[in-house]
A and B are shown apart, each in its own frame.
Chain A
Amino acid sequence: MKASMKWIKVLPFPTISGSAIIALAAVLLIICPIHRIHAGQLGINCTEPAVWEGAAVNAVILPYTYTGHGQKPLSKTAKELTLLVQMDVLFSMLKYGGVGTTVLSTREIPLQRVREECTPEVVTAKVLGRIPGANSQIKSGRGVVILWGYIYEEGKDVFVQSYLRFLRRNAPDRIFLTINRDMPLPMKFTGRLPDQAFAFAPKRLTVDELKEIGRAFQQSAMVRSHPNTSARGERMWLDPDLPFQYRVMDARNGWMKIESYGPGPSGWVQAQVNIAESPLSRKLPELCFVEGAVGYLRYQVHIDEIMRLPHAGRVVQWTQRALSRFEEFSQKKKGSVPVAMAKILSGNLSIISANPAQLIEAVHNASIKYTHAAALMPYNAEARNLMAVSRIYLGYLSGWSSEKPAVIAKELLNTLVLDADNDAILANLENFYVLVSKIPEEMSQIQKAELKNKLSAVRRVRAGLERNR
């Protein structure tokens, strides 16, 4: 029995809405030595967002702002938080190579225009080319991570609520696990990512903690004359009231050479290889997720051969570590969508990065993660479908000793109820019934007549869906 999987993309991008205030404060591009992208300064604001077209993955960060339909000027704390988040994301992404980050600003834009045009929904639609208005767009097949959030300040406490959306343009996620790949009738089972936009659990920081984190960052983010820690260094310029504008001129061995466009120094800064070293990410675990999501998208762009990675194995390790740190720092409660998503991304990455000899073990590990994810969001058809697909694959390869087909059939039907016109789930069900129809009844524990009826029903439904398309 032979099996394999590969990674492809389809699925329409879900719509979002909501408001957030955004504006350009800084634009940075991180480059990989083999993909030298010399990006100039972008003259953009939140009404005309821009991304780095040459990058495999862009991170667009919208400043943390206040909730509600009314807006007031951001406090120094809010600006500092945004700046620190941006720096954290920037430095954690650098190691992947071929990625860029943009922070948008509302500076000098009339409030009404900010309300209408600077929402995450509108900015996303613009950078993906769904509506006009972006100075530059994400290219087809490449990834984007959009982070935004709300803050609430009370005395010395700062409450932070972050949101994230991540996707690839024209290349949504699907995994295929193929059974009998080299046989005349290979059988393909499909899994897809659940929603790729969600809220993180709110977090509380204190103003003093933020200051401490800022100080620690400035200590570690020294701009040095040469790419080594013993070279002469100057502190990085961090002022939330001044636009932070650098261009990355070069990158090598975990260092990037930046050229300042403002009052800050130019020189070499060291990338953060492990985000867990960042004190901010302990307070805001979503930053670990951002690091993981960027790595996940970066790896997909690599395997689709749009922009290859010279160090793909390490990217997988870094991504897995970031996702696992996110889980570690997050509360694992029922209904925790981000934790479930971290498990699913980790499971998918295990599978897509596995070589043929490791595939069964990778699917086994992924299956455990999918099962946990499905338990965290049992109402989500895609999470349950991923779990079912991995079980079918493992069950088949074990000669159905690991799990009885009747149990899997029940799970697939449960999954179908939660998304009754989902053709991927229907196709999995059809393939599964065909597969099981070839084994003895005592092994499948499904009566032949029932199997036949269900198979006919699935085919009828699929034909009806096809007619209605």
Chain B
Amino acid sequence: MKSIRSFSITFQAILFSFLLLLFCNTAPTQTIDCSGSSKSGNYQVYLDDLSYANVSLSNDGQLQNLMKRLSFKLASNVHALTLESTPIPLTVAYCEGRKPRGEGDFSENLVDALDDNNVILELWGQLDATTQNGSISNRKASICYVLVPVLLDEFKNPHKPGLQFALYPKDANIQSGELINLLEESIELEAFVAVGIGVNLLKNKKYDEAMKYLCKAQIILRQQHTGIAEVKQNALNDYIKQAVHKTVIDARSDPNYTGSLIDLVDENNPCP
């Protein structure tokens, strides 16, 4: 028995080492191949595939319908984001076959590569349900978001309070499953994209524009219930607040900056 356990531990260790090696070898060149991905420096939103939490759910007709509805809703919502006038145009790339499982799928190298490609947000959906005695109930859809510039910032500044991973599930019960009620008017999407663009602009010392997007995100998240777990939303709010403050401080200490943030803005609470 002892030898079996020992073998099992050894095997796990070898497997782990192998995976780690594999991961380390591939990490520096990690990329995601997405249809419509832009190389022209546009801001990008990556829309991944929707998936089932387990294969047995894929035969459920109601979940199949929910998947199609969500797919429509996500695609039409991200399209709406591209209409806003942004400093750099925002485009959507469809990442066929890509189904991240969660935080573990976002290494620093990958997030760095995504950020280099101006990817602001990556999102995907997962459908789940309760299976008991062969019957399926409590059907749900979760939408997961990764705010790439925020996540990268976190990797680079681990001492920072705030988000550990910008991953937000949102539930939509199919029983009350009016498509129209899912992700209503993409308000959270709008806020997430605004945060991503704001952080990206701050990194590039575009203080005025960074302030615009960070304040927009702050105002939306302050006023709207997004369906994100409260603890996550609070963490994001705190993160944005700090980014706003940093924008003012950085602008004021930048000798090349002569704009409104020097004398016309309240340093402590700038956003209306």
Question: Interface residues, chain A, CB within 8 Å of chain B?
Answer: 14-19, 67-69, 121, 150, 152, 154, 159, 161, 163, 165, 195, 197-199, 201-204, 333-336, 378-379, 381, 384, 413-421, 426, 429, 453-454, 457-458, 460-461, 464-465
Contact = CB atoms under 8 A, between A and B. Distances in A.
Contact of B258 (A161, A458, A464): A464
Contacts of B264: 413, 416, 420, 429, 454, 457-458, 461
B76 A417 contact: no
B71 interface: yes
A461 B211 contact: no
Contact of B82 (A18, A204, A335, A426): A18
B180 A334 contact: no
A291 to B, nearest CB: 20
Contacts of B211: 417-418, 420
Nearest to A202: B180
Nearest to A460: B258
Interface of B: 35-36, 42, 65, 68-69, 71-73, 75-77, 79-80, 82-85, 89-92, 94, 178-180, 184-187, 190, 194, 207-209, 211-212, 215-216, 219-220, 223-224, 258-265, 270-272
Nearest to B36: A69
Contact of A453 (B89, B94, B263): B263
A221 B75 CA distance: 35
B272 A421 contact: no
Nearest to A148: B79
Contact of B272 (A17, A199, A418): A418
Contact of B83 (A16, A152, A203, A414): A16
Contacts of A453: 263
Contacts of B90: 17
A165 B83 CA distance: 9
A152 B68 contact: yes
Nearest to B225: A334
Given A204-B179, A417-B260, 20 more contacts: A17-B92, A19-B79, A69-B35, A150-B75, A150-B76, A150-B79, A154-B69, A161-B72, A197-B84, A202-B180, A203-B180, A413-B264, A417-B215, A421-B208, A453-B263, A454-B264, A458-B264, A460-B258, A461-B263, A461-B264
A454 B265 CA distance: 10
A457 B224 CA distance: 34
